[in-house]
């Protein structure tokens, strides 16, 4: 029961975050959704992942953003991380500070 309440609350929060201009918090919470709610990790294709996480492309992200590789690493999908790197996604992006989750600035996907 508790898991269902948490899942509903996080789904609602994600819906609101998905509407905002900045996608950093949305991508962070979407990345950890399954872990936090006790669900099995999702296995996504690169195309499905890019669409679900609101990325327009594998490469070309701002260097100070939560990158596709970081999101895949946070979601625990090693096969997706590998597929993104093969597709030339950067592992050099530095995540911005996210004090709401005690996340310090400048972490790269390798830190995660």
pLDDT of the residue at 100: 60
Q: 32, 67 in Cβ contact below 8 A? A: no
Contacts of 94 (CB under 8 A, 6+ apart): 63, 64, 105, 106, 107, 108
23 Cα distance to chain centroid: 9
Those residues of the chain that have pLDDT short of 70 are: 60-64, 97-112
| DSSP summary character for residue 111 | G
pTM of the model: 0.80
Q: What is the pLDDT of residue 103?
A: 57
Amino acid 107: pLDDT: 63
Residues 29, 9: Cα–Cα separation, whole Å: 12
Non-local CB neighbours of 2 within 8 Å, separated by 6+ positions: none
């Amino acid at each position: 029961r508790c898991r269902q309440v948490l899942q509903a609350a996080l789904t609602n929060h994600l819906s609101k975050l998905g509407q905002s201009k900045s996608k950093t918090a949305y991508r962070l919470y979407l990345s950890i959704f399954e872990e936090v709610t006790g669900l099995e990790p999702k296995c996504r294709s690169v195309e499905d992942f890019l669409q679900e996480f609101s990325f327009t492309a594998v490469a070309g992200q701002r260097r100070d953003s939560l990158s596709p590789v970081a999101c895949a690493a946070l979601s625990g999908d090693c096969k997706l991380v590998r597929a993104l790197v093969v597709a030339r996604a950067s592992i050099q992006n530095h995540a911005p500070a996210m004090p709401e989750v005690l996340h310090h600035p400048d972490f790269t996907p390798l830190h995660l």
